[in-house]
Amino acid sequence: MSTPELACETAPVRKPEGLSRIGLIVPSSNTTMETELPELFRRQSEATGHRYTFHSARAGMKNVNKEELLAMVGKAADCAAAVSDADVDAIAYACLVAVMAQGPNAHVDSEAVIAKAAEDNGHPAAVTSSAGALVRTLQEMGVRRIAMVTPYMKPLTQMVREYIEGAGIEVLDAVSLEVADNLAVGCLDPQNLPEIARNLQREGAEAIVLSACVQMPSLPAVQAVEDELGLPVITAATATAYEILKSLDHEPSIPGAGSLLAGAGSKLPTRI
């Protein structure tokens, strides 16, 4: 008995209505971005009914030092091509310091490389990076002065500080938790962040960056710190989520993650 030949599909498969696919490029040791972003978009789905799925490509990186960060950058195009195979609608390059380590305004070139790789692979997608999302979101908010928390060693924190200040935003205070191992960064307790934020030098600050790193867990503390200190609180992860939603033309409707993502009718807190 002959076996019937399998029909080859020649027409592109259309995504289901009411579904967006989001691609992530993350360090191989990242354990946080693939939990915090899906949780944010789960809340968005509950509010709007629109569904989101996440599809990741991983680039090798264990220790947060300049050498490994630069090596990761060289893998971005291959990762973008791989994740675009899932026909994603948006791609987020989710390693803030890997981009910032390349020098001032490096997010522009990094995002262009990723966009070109996806387009060349036949699946163009909107592209953001956590580095670009953080500075652009602060600029869009009209913020000129911030205080921030990072998990990095002090030299890397200084590099991040200079990168943000190169975008026209003064960093009044920057706390370094000095954790070099990226897996250990993902194990930091976000419940410690409110106390750390209280001790920031906030005089004159217009916003707090509670985690200038997508690997440092912060989501459980964002709303609490914003409510207590009366300043807008964002993180690298919430800024990335905000830009993904913008790229999809979706109005943010995410409760419990700060006023940035709360959506229409929400007001940024005023400094107290």
What residues are annotated to the active site? Answer: 95, 213
Which are the contacts of 188, defined by CB distance < 8 A and separation ≥ 6? 151, 177, 179, 216, 217
Please state, in angstroms and rounded to a whole number, the distance separating the CA atoms of residues 228 and 238. 18
Please state, in angstroms and rounded to a whole number, the distance separating the CA atoms of residues 27 and 68. 10
Is 215 marked as binding a ligand? Answer: yes
Which are the contacts of 38, defined by CB distance < 8 A and separation ≥ 6? 52, 54
Answer whether 27's CB lies under 8 Å from 215's CB: yes
Spatial CA neighbour of 237 closest among 84, 85, 27, 37: 37
CA distances from 97 to 69, 151, 164, 181, 195 (A): 7, 11, 11, 14, 24
Is 152 marked as binding a ligand? Answer: yes
Is 88 marked as binding a ligand? Answer: no
The DSSP secondary-structure symbol of 204 reads T
Is 158 marked as binding a ligand? Answer: no
Compute how many other C-beta atoms are within 10 angstroms of the C-beta atom of residue 12: 9
Q: Between vectors from CA 234 to CA 177 and to CA 43, what angle results, nearest 5°?
A: 115
Is 65 marked as binding a ligand? Answer: no
Which are the contacts of 26, defined by CB distance < 8 A and separation ≥ 6? 33, 34, 56, 57, 58, 59, 94, 95, 214
CA distances from 228 to 169, 231, 237, 267 (A): 23, 8, 20, 15
Is 182 marked as binding a ligand? Answer: yes
Please state, in angstroms and rounded to a whole number, the distance separating the CA atoms of residues 253 and 114. 28
Is 214 marked as binding a ligand? Answer: yes
Binding residues: 30, 95-97, 152, 182, 214-215
Binding residues for substrate are: 30, 95-97, 152, 182, 214-215
